[in-house]
Structure 1
Amino acid sequence: MKELAYADINIGDSASFAKTITEGDVVNYAGLTGDFNPVHIDAEYAKESMFKERIAHGMLVSGLISAVLGTQLPGANSLYLGQDLKFKAPVKIGDTATATVTVTEKRDDKRIITLKTTVTNQDGVVVIDGSAVIKKVGL
């Protein structure tokens, strides 16, 4: 992966990453975090929930934002300082989630970048909306 220099990052720059959420993703995330909420793990329980079927963990899906920030924009040698997330709609197993980040502000004296962060599903529905603050420590 090629590192972007701070000077080469501009307001309006954008990058995305898409992933289809699998049964394995949900089970592995539950095992890693200990979050065995039955709406994620138990199909019978989930049928009776407001979602009518199992859904992915919100933080699992929001991790796609981290993937974009850490590998594409601003990319390597960036420190994640903060994230604001608003969960708008569920992501179900089999949905394809696309995380998109867009640079909205740069603070040159501290090399801090603010980005709009959005995750949409395969139908274009916004499932997560928010913003991230990153400090670029590399180039």
Structure 2
Amino acid sequence: MARLSHIALVITVNVLVLMCILAEEERYTDKYDDVDYHAALKNKTLRDEYYNCFMEIAPCQSPRQTALTGMFSEAYQTKCKKCTEKQKEMFSTIIDWYKKNEPDKWQLVVAKTVEDMKKKATQ
């Protein structure tokens, strides 16, 4: 009987470990978490480059722009479910800045995030 209890305990522990591994959320890469987004928001040229990259008005100027703008639609729509803490802070600050300083552009960004997520859902 003790052997059966031991086997049951081992199986239970293994199942719990497997559940924890499977339950761990996929996260966006933290490769670009060091970006100085405050400086980017203050620099009109750089800010416009990111905006134009995201809106597909102009080509992205760097892998960093491609990566960050590429994750934005999903991050916004899912309330940053896959974001690192730094990304949550970054995206929140950017969203607040656009809402306050460029609300017309912000509305276009929101519309594009909806469009992007619709495309993703049909793929």
- The TM-score, its normalising length taken from structure 2, stands at 0.24
Structure possessing the higher relative contact order (Cα contacts under 8 Å, 6 or more residues apart): 1
Higher strand fraction (1 or 2): 1
Please tell me whether Structure 1 or Structure 2 has the larger radius of gyration of its CA atoms: 2
Higher helix fraction (1 or 2): 2
- The TM-score, its normalising length taken from structure 1, stands at 0.23
